[in-house]
Amino acid sequence: MENYFDIEEPEKGFSIKKLFKWIAIAIIVIIDLTIFIRCITTRDDKIVSKILKDADYIEAYNSDPENFTVLQYGMDRAWIAVEEGRLIQFNYLYHIEKAKELQFSVKYNKSLAHRGANGEDPFRFRLVDESGTVYDDYFFERKTKQEYCYIRLCFKNIELIKGSDEERKTYTLYIDKFNGTDYEEYCSYELYKGSKVSKKITKDVAPKEE
C-alpha cells in the first residue's frame, strides 16, 4: 500500500491569519521607527563638544602646532537641580593651555529663562577660583534644539596649574539670571576641582583655513 503525505493547500487571497501577520509587522516597523526618531531628536546638538576658535586660539596654534594640545577633563555629577526638579547640565570641559582658555557647555530647558525685553541674555556667567579671583571675560555660541538651549562658553585667561603640576587651581561657575531689570545669582557649580586626569582631543583642533 502506498503512503500518501497530507499536503496543506496554500492559502489564497485574504485570510485572518495574513491580516494579523501584516498588523504585527506594521506594529514592529512603527515601534522601531519611533525609537529611531526619538534617538535622533533627543540627541544633544553638536555644539556641546565644539572647540571654539577665536584669535587667541588661532595665534597660539599657529605659533607651535606640534605642541598645541586641547585637553578634556571630567566633571563629577555634571548637573545641578534648579526649579521644579529641572536640571542645568554641563559637559565637554576643555582646557587649552597655550591659549589660556577654558571651554565647556551649558544645557538647560528653554522655559527656565528668556531674553529680556531689550535683548538681555537670560544668563550671565563668571568663574571664581579658590582664592576668590573672579573671571568674567568670556565669549559663547548658542544653539536651540527642541525644548533645550545649548551654550558653548569659552573663558579667557584661565590657567589650571599654579606653581607646579602638583598644585592646581579650582574653579566654581556662578550663573546669574536676568530677573527683568537686573541679574541676580541663580546657582553655582564646581566646574574644575584640580584633577590632573585628562584626555587629549585630536579632532577638529586645527583652525580652518579661510
pLDDT at 5 over 70: no
Q: For residue 138, is it within any domain?
A: yes
Residue 36: pLDDT band (50, 70, 90) is: very low
Model confidence at 204: pLDDT above 80: yes
Considering its fold, how many domains does the chain have in total? 1
Instruction: Give domain status of residue 5, yes or no.
Output: no
* pLDDT, mean of residues 69-86: 88
Average pLDDT over residues 29-33: 60
Q: How far apart are the first and last CA of the chain?
A: 90
Does residue 4 lie within any of the structural domains?
no
Q: What is the pLDDT of residues 101-156, one digit of tens each?
A: 999 999 999 999 889 999 999 999 999 999 999 999 999 999 999 889 999 999 99
* Cross-strand bridge partners of residue 79: 89
- Whether the pLDDT of residue 33 is over 80: the answer is no
Structural domain boundaries enclosing 110: 48-201
The answer to whether the predicted template modeling score (pTM) of the entire model surpasses 0.75 is yes
Is 83 a member of any domain? yes
Mean pLDDT of 35-52: 70
Residue 40 lies in a domain: no
**Residue 191: which residues within 8 A CB-CB, separation 6 or more?**
75, 90, 93, 102, 104, 127, 171, 172, 173
Residue 12 lies in a domain: no
Domain CATH number, residue 115? 2.60.40
Evaluate whether residue 31 is within a structural domain: no
